Structure 1
């Protein structure tokens, strides 16, 4: 498992990276068998978001560190350095470009883009 990581460097330029999620086999819900699971991360809130088909927003930084979990639709997200990624159903996107130039997001599917956002701050 992995997620798309968007971050800003010290000059405010945003970049993409791929991050592998470390899983370890352990007890999670006794008496069920051990399962492969990651370490937990404290969060502050969870939101649902919909961007209508055709949504095209101006470039901006993320307001807080947050993870987007795509449920439906597709967006094209362009980092300020010009690198572009498509986020679609099942993709995970960690946003940490809280300062600097930010990123541009545009819905590229005929369907609306729907996701869950988990905020860490």
Structure 2
């Protein structure tokens, strides 16, 4: 599994990278068989998010470290270094660009962009 990480370097410029998540087979819910699970991460809260079709925001840093899982629709996210990525259904985007120039997001689908966001402490 992987997620797309958007982070800010020391100069405050945001960049994309892919992070591969290690999974380990464990006995999670006996008597069910083993499942593959990543290491747990502490979370503060989870919220549902909807951006309407045509939504286009100014560039900004993420207000906090958070992970977004897209349910439907699509956004184009541009890091401050200029690299663009499309986040669509099933994609996972981790935002850690909490300082500096930030990123620009706009809805590129004809439908609303719906997501679940897990926020970190």
Output the TM-score relative to the length of structure 2: 0.99
Structure 1: which 5+ residue stretches go unaligned?
none
Structure 2: which 5+ residue stretches go unaligned?
none
Separation in structure 2 between the aligned mates of residue 85 and residue 29 of structure 1, nearest angstrom: 36
Match of 1:103 in 2: 103
- The answer to whether the aligner puts 1:113 opposite 2:113 as a matched pair is yes
- The answer to whether the aligner puts 1:41 opposite 2:41 as a matched pair is yes
Match of 1:19 in 2: 19
- The answer to whether the aligner puts 1:94 opposite 2:94 as a matched pair is yes
Secondary structure of the residue aligned to 1:32 is coil
Separation in structure 2 between the aligned mates of residue 26 and residue 71 of structure 1, nearest angstrom: 27
CA RMSD, aligned part only? 0.4
**1:39 shift after superposition:** 1.1
**1:30 shift after superposition:** 1.0
TM superposition outliers: structure 1 runs of 4+ over 4 Å: none
CA deviations 1:51-86 (Å, max 9, x no partner) are 000000000000100000000000000000000000
Output the TM-score relative to the length of structure 1: 0.99
Secondary structure of the residue aligned to 2:90 is coil
Count of aligned pairs between the two proteins = 121
Match of 2:56 in 1: 56
